[in-house]
A and B are shown apart, each in its own frame.
Chain A
């Protein structure tokens, strides 16, 4: 293991990517492909969700199988905010992050006392509990989920327009990635990466390991909550399906395909998985089979993920 360190070309690539993504909706509009603005927004949102899991799994070394719970709770928090009359994203989104983060804090406070397969199971159990809670909550739509009456506003600007909303998601992802990139090289990032490698040694160096893990877990939950709030705005619905355990599995697959512990692992994985789905679904309803084969290929031929083929992790 080594601490994460950006490859020398990462910064120019990131800047180019930001410019490209900023131009994307205008390009799509110019070619009459507005439909894909929604798709691109979806990719950005899942990139954020997968990156939040990558913080927990890739940097923190915590194999959570319940990450979708925080994603779904963020979506519900946004929908409930709107129901309560809060239609401003600058208030609703931080609230969604806080609620998801606090729930992650509670889940982590209990789950992080266990290790290995027990941790996987207990995070799964908490997520399923949250899922059944929303399924049975009549006032929040039960099985059907809680619809939004329309997209929120961001600093007073309506996000109803797809391009506007695209930029909201794009800003959210950009800020989150900037934060994660800084975090990885800051004191906190070095501590959690070292704990991932050898927690006993860190304990013996005087680090309160549990506390660092918990903060990392809660941060991941909060970021997932932001992604959830964005997704609810995109689709106009906070659905219990967002919390179901296969959703946690999807996020895991994204991180594994993209590259566990690589800054852009989650984003790359989300892009690949969603594009594959978009393309394959046109050929066959059994697109999961093709996906399975591709996942197998990644695990066999690029076990560190696609980002590992480009990025350099060793400092």
Chain B
């Protein structure tokens, strides 16, 4: 068994009277595509926020690449190699696709300090060359000069992916990358994620079951803040508890 890249231990979080997450134990192994599924309101987004550092747990811990990152802020976790995309498209709409990605490249610690006040960033060929490579990787190579607001929905999702990739993550946290996409766009996104999975570990939160079962090496199911099962797709599909949670739908 490969070493766990992400390990979440006994994570609990309470919002007022609601136990959003109840002692969740969860791990993602290096190299795998691990999908997290669950009915609406199961706590998937809350969970993702705890992994990415947007929220702090009441108890439990998050370990990444062998280090305890529970108290690290979001930007520190990104620097440690954890990148995320958002459920709702979250790109800089007033910037060109290339500028969006260049901003992501610039944020990397190995790209040098951004406390530079004099030299125009546009003159830094390296930033933009690299940004172009990432746009190529997600199939937006010819769209670099286009304003993000003028990109089609699917292209914006791909752009978001390029930005996450540009941080050179060890693990990609994809929060419903298929959300709001038409069937054609979804198919393209699945191909893209499949391609990316060869180089980077992926934690995928997704409602589109066809996509999940095609992409995932392992699947975990979150219901009412509890992780009810983790396993290979076929085992999860056959699990009676999972079937009950989903009332037989989709699976």
Contacts and interface: CB of A to CB of B under 8 A. Distances in A.
Contacts, number: 97
B95 A3 contact: yes
Interface string A174-207: 0000010011011111110010011011111111
Contacts of B114: 187-188, 191, 207, 212
A207 B90 contact: no
A190 B107 contact: no
B117 A3 contact: no
B121 A206 contact: no
A215 interface: yes
A190 B115 contact: no
Task: Decide if the interface of chain A is mainly helix, strand, loop or mixed.
Answer: helix
A186 B76 CA distance: 23
B174 interface: no
A194 B109 CA distance: 18
A197 B94 contact: yes
Contacts of A182: 117-120
A188 B116 contact: yes
A204 B119 contact: no
Contacts of B99: 3
A173 B103 CA distance: 30
A182 B121 CA distance: 10
A205 B117 contact: no
A98 B103 CA distance: 31
Given A205-B103, A207-B107, A209-B75, A188 B115 contact: yes
Contact of A204 (B84, B94, B106): B84
Given A185-B122, A204-B52, A205-B163, A190 B106 contact: yes
A84 interface: no
Contacts of A203: 73-75, 78
B92 A1 contact: yes
A220 to B, nearest CB: 13
A265 to B, nearest CB: 18
A205 B94 contact: no
A205 B167 contact: yes
Interface residues of B, number: 37
A286 interface: no
Interface size class of A (residues with CB under 8 A): 20 to 34
Contacts of B84: 204
Task: Decide if the interface of chain B is mainly helix, strand, loop or mixed.
Answer: loop
Contacts of A201: 86, 90-92
A185 B121 contact: yes
Contacts of A207: 75, 107, 114
Given A204-B74, A206-B78, A208-B75, A186 B92 contact: no
B236 interface: no
A204 B74 CA distance: 6
Given A185-B121, A190-B106, A205-B163, A314 B94 contact: yes
A2 interface: yes
A204 B120 contact: no
B190 interface: no
Contacts of A186: 116-121
Contacts of A179: 117-118
A219 to B, nearest CB: 8
A206 B104 CA distance: 8
Given A191-B106, A205-B107, A1 B119 contact: no
A2 B118 CA distance: 19
Contacts of B107: 191, 202, 205-207
B94 A1 contact: yes
A314 B99 CA distance: 13
Interface string B101-136: 001101111000111111111101000000000000
A75 B116 CA distance: 29
Interface in B47-68: 52, 54
A183 to B, nearest CB: 5
Most central of A188, A191, A203, A314 by chain B CB within 10 Å:
A203
Given A182-B119, A188-B114, A204-B83, 11 more contacts: A183-B117, A187-B121, A190-B103, A197-B94, A201-B86, A203-B78, A205-B75, A205-B107, A206-B107, A207-B114, A209-B75
Q: Lowest 8 A-B CB distances belong to which pairs? A: A206-B78, A1-B94, A2-B94, A187-B114, A205-B107, A187-B116, A206-B107, A185-B120
Interface of A: 1-3, 179, 182-183, 185-191, 194, 197-198, 200-209, 212, 215, 314
7 contacts: A185-B121, A186-B121, A198-B90, A202-B103, A203-B75, A204-B84, A206-B78
